[in-house]
Copies of this chain bind each other. A is one copy, B any other.
């Protein structure tokens, strides 16, 4: 059971999952970038630069730059909020959803392997 996961198993889960992604040539995201990406896909919209910066306790340029990079990778998209044009609304993409779906499958698979 996952609620009985032990520390050594937890690390093994992280290791094998990460290793599979690296060998797959998945984008080499930083911890911050990954956290931003997961927040965008798991938390209810709308997502703004300011909101993410507050949530992660980082400065706004950190979010802006991460969105630049992940935008180039097509993992996220941006558009102006037309109701308040100071805001930018951060949007999910098909590529980003697929990327996280694949990652989730790897985690599930490795969780099974680790607790077996």
Contacts and interface: CB of A to CB of B under 8 A. Distances in A.
Given A31-B21, A35-B19, A57-B23, A14 B112 contact: no
Interface in A4-34: 5-15, 18-19, 21-23, 26-32, 34
A38 B13 CA distance: 10
A1 interface: yes
A115 interface: yes
Interface string A52-65: 00011110000000
Contact of A34 (B31, B39, B101, B115): B31
A103 B3 CA distance: 16
The copy count of this chain in the complex is 2
A12 B104 CA distance: 9
A94 interface: no
Interface string A83-103: 000000000000000001101
10 contacts: A2-B2, A5-B112, A7-B107, A11-B104, A15-B35, A19-B38, A21-B31, A22-B31, A22-B32, A29-B31
